Amino acid sequence: MWWGGRGQSFNIAPQKEEPEMGSVQESRMPEHRSRQPSSCLASRCLPGEQILAWAPGLRKGLEPELSGTLICTNFRVTFQPCGWQQNEDTPLSSEYDFALVNIGRLEAVSGLSRVQLLRPGSLLKFIPEEIMIHGRDFRLLRVGFEAGGLEPQAFQVTMAIVQARAQSNPAQPYSGITLSKAGQASGSRKPPVPLMETAEDWETERKKQAARGWRVTTVNERFDVATSLPRYFWVPNRILDSEVRRAFGHFHQGRGPRLSWHHPGGSDLLRCGGFYTASDPNKEDIRAVESMLQAGHSDVVLVDTMDELPSLADVQLAHLRLRALCLPDSSVAEDKWLSALEGTRWLDYIRACLRKASDISVLVTSRVRSVILQERGDRDLNGLLSSLVQLLSAPEARTLFGFQSLVQREWVAAGHPFLTRLGGTGASEEAPVFLLFLDCVWQLLQQFPADFEFSEFFLLALHDSVRVPDTLTFLRNTPWERGKQSGQMGLSAPTISGLQDELSHLQELLRKWTPRISPEVHSKKRDPHTILNPTEIVGILKGRAEGDLG
């Protein structure tokens, strides 16, 4: 098991320039200005960020208790200990930063027994003595408020958090932030990883994979085939766009079969949605569907992705249980920890995913069979399986660049509903499939440390970035929404690759600790066609049978 999310948000880089101070803040804290110089608070704000309220408080639950300030801004809640100094050397932010979307549960406590769960929009019924912020990323922050005339401030900051959460609704997401200078700055430079938003990106990638029988289709350029599909994707050479359109109409949400990955041996990995239930295909349509599915191969294997894999509800439940287990206040005794871990079934699900992926990988690589992954929605486990298969079979996918473009292609461009799955749009349909994927990758990394260019810390950084609001990569449901947003802004939005700068720095640091060979040496020493032997992967848990802490 991988303890994702140790609670750092990598993305909130310190900015030098002075932010605009919100008028709200001016009016709310005149009398205590002397206690806490506002410049100190403001110096850590992002451009476009406004301080809504603050109150002096005491970080609790961990020795030693720390006094400091709890601050609520329009996109995060943060706790700044007294005497806190910005460390210029590190891009990492403090571990007390909670992006508003990252707040899973908010509780106000008064006395020993009075606890109020604060949902967005609820009204605080008492003056809180303590506030508990449960992060979705396994963190817990407890801040106690000082008595003696400061109670109104405690009340204000709590209410400000409640309101800010209500307002940080994805309906009008973070316009302030993305419009900011930070957004413009990163938008102006070329992304280090192809975002798969242009036909050129797709063509380049196609050539890289030497998928000769395939071409980039522009049929979805206006998102009229499917809004959840990318503008461009790969279809067989000899299939006309009209046939594509025709065939895709018979798949759930218009997600017909597309190429995911071409194996140099000649086999292909395809993914598609379920067959559209209400469709009534004529002969021609059926032929189009068939030829798209077969893509020139005489023998293809259709894999029902959902078979033997956990449902979305399973994943969500397991993740909740896992989080409960790993929270500092979990009540599991240490000698019962392993069975509690087993009880979450999270590891079971990881195992199921890896097993299935390794089986498919055998088919595609050593048996040179083409495989079609079929999932009803084609937006969750298909992406997971197809990414895992590529990680297992294609050494390029195990480089830093390759992995990022894999995520970009199979998750972001392929329309994984990140916002919904990560709980951005409300309770239903939440399921951290992407985190499950990252954990699967972590298992592989644990087992084959020498085969990956990236480290555990990269995965952690990625894990923590999924809820950071200044990237567009993860906070949208479809490529269409993403495109709409960046189109409106007139700039290409910062994406996952915005991470790159910070990561390169981070990598620099990491190299000092984790001696890893450079990619050049890597490729020199190893047969580049090394394939992680799938049967090797099955030893997933027993080797480290004990739930790794990493």
Partner 1 sequence: MLGKGVVGGGGGTKAPKPSFVSYVRPEEIHTNEKEVTEKEVTLHLLPGEQLLCEASTVLKYVQEDSCQHGVYGRLVCTDFKIAFLGDDESALDNDETQFKNKVVGENDITLHCVDQIYGVFDEKKKTLFGQLKKYPEKLIIHCKDLRVFQFCLRYTKEEEVKRIVSGIIHHTQAPKLLKRLFLFSYATAAQNNTVTDPKNHTIMFDTLKDWCWELERTKGNMKYKAVSVNEGYKVCERLPAYFVVPTPLPEENVQRFQGHGIPIWCWSCHNGSALLKMSALPKEQDDGILQIQKSFLDGVYKTIHRPPYEIVKTEDLSSNFLSLQEIQTAYSKFKQLFLIGFPPLPPYCGSDNTATLLFSPSSAYQLPSDNSTEFWDTDIKWFSLLESSSWLDIIRRCLKKAIEITECMEAQNMNVLLLEENASDLCCLISSLVQLMMDPHCRTRIGFQSLIQKEWVMGGHCFLDRCNHLRQNDKEEVPVFLLFLDCVWQLVHQHPPAFEFTETYLTVLSDSLYIPIFSTFFFNSPHQKDTNMGREGQDTQSKPLNLLTVWDWSVQFEPKAQTLLKNPLYVEKPKLDKGQRKGMRFKHQRQLSLPLTQSKSSPKRGFFREETDHLIKNLLGKRISKLINSSDELQDNFREFYDSWHSKPTDYHGLLLPHIEGPEIKVWAQRYLRWIPEAQILGGSRVATMSKLLEMIEEVQSLQEKIDERHHSQQAPQAEAPCLLRNSARLSSLFPFALLQRHSSKPVLPTSGWKALGDEDDLAKREDEFVDLGDV
Quick one: 79 or 223, whose CB is closer to partner 1? 79
Binder of partner 1 out of 13, 451, 489, 501 (CB under 8 A): 451
The window from 145-153, 406-414, 493-501, 530-538 that contacts partner 1 (CB under 8 A) reads: 530-538
DSSP codes joined into one string, 330-378: ----GGGHHHHHHHH-HHHHHHHHHHHHHHHHHHHTTT--EEEEE-SSS
Binding mask 168-207 for partner 1 (x = CB under 8 A): ----------------------------------------
CB of 531 to partner 1, least distance (A): 11
The window from 187-195, 413-421, 448-456, 469-477 that contacts partner 1 (CB under 8 A) reads: 448-456
Please compute, for residue 311, the number of CA atoms within 13 A of its CA located in the half-sphere on the CB side.
4
CB 301, CB 372: distance < 8 Å: yes
Residue 47 φ/ψ, nearest 5 degrees: -60, 135
Binder of partner 1 out of 105, 517, 519, 529 (CB under 8 A): 517
Beta bridge partners of 108: 116, 131
Of residues 222-261, those binding partner 1 (CB under 8 A): 250
The 8-class DSSP code of residue 211 comes to -
Quick one: 125 or 526, whose CB is closer to partner 1? 526
Beta bridge partners of 57: 68, 145
| Cis previous bond, 120, omega within 30 | no
CB of 89 to partner 1, least distance (A): 9
Coil vs helix vs strand at 235: strand
Verify binding: residue 359, partner 1, rule CB under 8 A: yes
Verify binding: residue 528, partner 1, rule CB under 8 A: no
CB of 140 to partner 1, least distance (A): 9
Of residues 302-341, those binding partner 1 (CB under 8 A): 302-304, 307-310, 328-339, 341
Amino acid identity, residue 405?
A: S
CB of 412 to partner 1, least distance (A): 27
Verify binding: residue 535, partner 1, rule CB under 8 A: yes
DSSP codes joined into one string, 365-386: TTT--EEEEE-SSSSSHHHHHH
Over the Cα atoms of the chain, what is R_g? 25
Verify binding: residue 284, partner 1, rule CB under 8 A: no
Quick one: 52 or 354, whose CB is closer to partner 1? 354
CB of 392 to partner 1, least distance (A): 12
Quick one: 192 or 236, whose CB is closer to partner 1? 236
Cα→Cα distances 228→42, 199, 305, 414, 417, Å: 40, 17, 19, 7, 9
**Nearest partner of 386 among 417, 419, 418, 363, judged by Cα:** 363
Verify binding: residue 457, partner 1, rule CB under 8 A: yes
Binder of partner 1 out of 42, 43, 58, 61 (CB under 8 A): 61
Verify binding: residue 529, partner 1, rule CB under 8 A: no
Verify binding: residue 85, partner 1, rule CB under 8 A: yes
